[in-house]
Amino acid sequence: MAESPDVANALFDAVCAGVPPDATVYLDIPLPNADAMALVDARGMQCVFETARMYAGPAPACELERIYGITTFELG
């Protein structure tokens, strides 16, 4: 989660600074967040898989514009 695209970029770069140069980095972004898409596009990342969210009932309220990476697939 980040308050702005600048903060998201800084966080991503800080995390990646500790990753070996030959390591693969995965970031599961929510596609409706255009700023998250811009973050991965600017770094030349490519899509390797996709997931879908499904809810029983209405989708929960969330600040999607602040979400730049999903931390878990198992929420239930």
30 domain-assigned: yes
Task: Place 74 in a pLDDT band, splitting at 50, 70 and 90.
Answer: low
73 domain-assigned: no
pLDDT digits (tens, 9 = 90+) for 53-68: 788 899 888 888 999 9
pLDDT digits (tens, 9 = 90+) for 10-29: 999 999 999 998 999 999 99
75 domain-assigned: no
47 domain-assigned: yes
Domain that holds residue 15: 5-66
52 domain-assigned: yes
Task: Place 71 in a pLDDT band, splitting at 50, 70 and 90.
Answer: confident
Quick one: which of 32, 74, 26 has its CA closest to 54?
Answer: 74
Number of domains in the chain: 1
Average pLDDT of the chain is 89
> What pLDDT is attached to residue 59?
84
39 domain-assigned: yes
Quick one: which of 60, 55, 51 has its CA closest to 29?
Answer: 51
